[in-house]
Amino acid sequence: MLSAPIESNILKSVCSRSMASKTPVGFIGLGNMGNPMAKNLMKHGYPLIIYDVFPDVVSSPADVAEKADRIITMLPTSINAVEAYSGTNGILKKVKKGSLLIDSSTIDPSVSKELAKEVEKMGAVFMDAPVSGGVGAARSGNLTFMVGGVEEEFAAAQELLGCMGSNVVYCGAVGNGQAAKICNNMLLAISMIGTAEAMNLGIRLGLDPKLLAKILNMSSGRCWSSDTYNPVPGVMDGVPSANNYQGGFGTTLMAKDLGLAQDSATSTKSPILLGSLAHQIYRMMCAKGYSKKDFSSVFQFLREEENF
């Protein structure tokens, strides 16, 4: 079966792309996550062409695209990503044919698909590759990347992403990286709140928290939130609940991801009863002073005693 002419064009130009060599890689977005990620790429010997809204070396995403044929973007919202790609001085203004553009932002999968279409029109390749793992994993190069895009390009993406993460998972067509991340984080939020509710109820019924966690973890209530990241202070060491919910994955960020899940569910008409409620609970927590605490602080939020 023949591939369509435009696709073979892309693949041909891809072949001329500087894959194996250590030619410059573009990096757009140097925030809490992008900064350590970019440093890990440099450690692996890649020269970087970088851009951020507080610019340093080059003056625009378009300039990055002029100087590098592999670009990674790591931006906070869908709007920032669209601006970086399609804006007045966006990547697409000067992108070279055959370039590989990898977006590691967590954004709406439908926006990823839109961007992919525009990129394809320019003869380049777009992949979505959101991460899980937080700032700590970004620093240590232990992120997980969930990658969506044409399968032929996965190896090229893996070469770069492997410098920054220990897990690079292929999830299928463009947008599927975002979809996988959104689904995982929605389930994470639900099981974290569920763990907090179950632990709190058990404690109020007179159970010892450590014993209850042990029982849950050997039973059908077991989940990552109960056995690896328990939200109750004193049950585990080395987790945010042991450190006043400092560090970890902020409540604001979880609320943002749940907003994306909600949008995707609304547009695909998928019922997410617990997912919606989890979204609203994290929204409430943001309004009650928990925005910068780790998302396992939902235990603390539920725990407060009634004063009567």
Binding-site positions? 23-51, 75-76, 80, 106, 256
Is the Cβ–Cβ distance between 275 and 258 less than 8 Å? yes
Cβ closer to a copy of itself: 163 or 169? 169
Cβ closer to a copy of itself: 121 or 292? 292
**Region of 2-10, 60-68, 93-101, 194-202 interacting with a copy of itself (CB under 8 A):** 194-202
Is the Cβ–Cβ distance between 157 and 246 less than 8 Å? no
Helical H segments across 17-149, by residue range: 34-43, 61-67, 78-86, 109-121, 134-140
Contacts (CB under 8 A) with a copy of itself, residues 87-146: 109, 132, 144, 146
Q: Which of 67, 94, 96, 181 is catalytic?
A: 181
Q: Of 85, 126, 229, 245, which one interacts with a copy of itself (CB under 8 A)?
A: 229
By CB under 8 A, is residue 158 in contact with a copy of itself?
no
Cβ closer to a copy of itself: 19 or 183? 183
The interface mask with a copy of itself, positions 48-77, x = CB under 8 A, is ------------------------------
Instruction: Pick left, alpha or beta for residue 184 (phi over 0 → left; psi -120 to 50 → alpha; otherwise beta).
Output: alpha
User: How many whole angstroms from its chain centre is CA 278?
Assistant: 19
Q: Of 28, 30, 41, 180, which one interacts with a copy of itself (CB under 8 A)?
A: 180
How near is the Cβ of 125 to a copy of itself at its closest, in Å? 19
Round the CA-based radius of gyration of the chain to a whole number and report it.
21
Cα separation of 39 and 41, whole Å? Answer: 5
Report how far apart, in Å, the C-alpha atoms of 277 and of each of 3, 297, 308 are.
Answer: 45, 17, 27
Q: Of 82, 150, 184, 236, which one interacts with a copy of itself (CB under 8 A)?
A: 184
Cα separation of 99 and 119, whole Å? Answer: 9
- Verify whether residue 214 is a known catalytic residue: no
> Which amino acid, residue 25?
V
Is the Cβ–Cβ distance between 163 and 46 less than 8 Å? yes
Q: Of 38, 122, 216, 232, which one interacts with a copy of itself (CB under 8 A)?
A: 216
By CB under 8 A, is residue 43 in contact with a copy of itself?
no
By CB under 8 A, is residue 230 in contact with a copy of itself?
no
How near is the Cβ of 256 to a copy of itself at its closest, in Å? 10
Closest to 40 (Cα-Cα) out of 189, 176, 193, 142: 142
**Region of 5-13, 45-53, 158-166, 253-261 interacting with a copy of itself (CB under 8 A):** 253-261
User: How many whole angstroms from its chain centre is CA 248?
Assistant: 14
Cα separation of 280 and 234, whole Å? Answer: 28
By CB under 8 A, is residue 166 in contact with a copy of itself?
no
Q: Which residues of 207-244 are buried (b: 16+ CB within 10 A; e: fewer)?
A: eebeebbeebeeeebebebbbebbbbbebbeebbbeee
**Region of 18-26, 58-66, 67-75, 210-218 interacting with a copy of itself (CB under 8 A):** 210-218
How near is the Cβ of 218 to a copy of itself at its closest, in Å? 7
Q: Of 208, 210, 243, 246, which one interacts with a copy of itself (CB under 8 A)?
A: 208
Q: Of 5, 45, 206, 238, which one interacts with a copy of itself (CB under 8 A)?
A: 206
**Residues recognised as catalytic:** 181
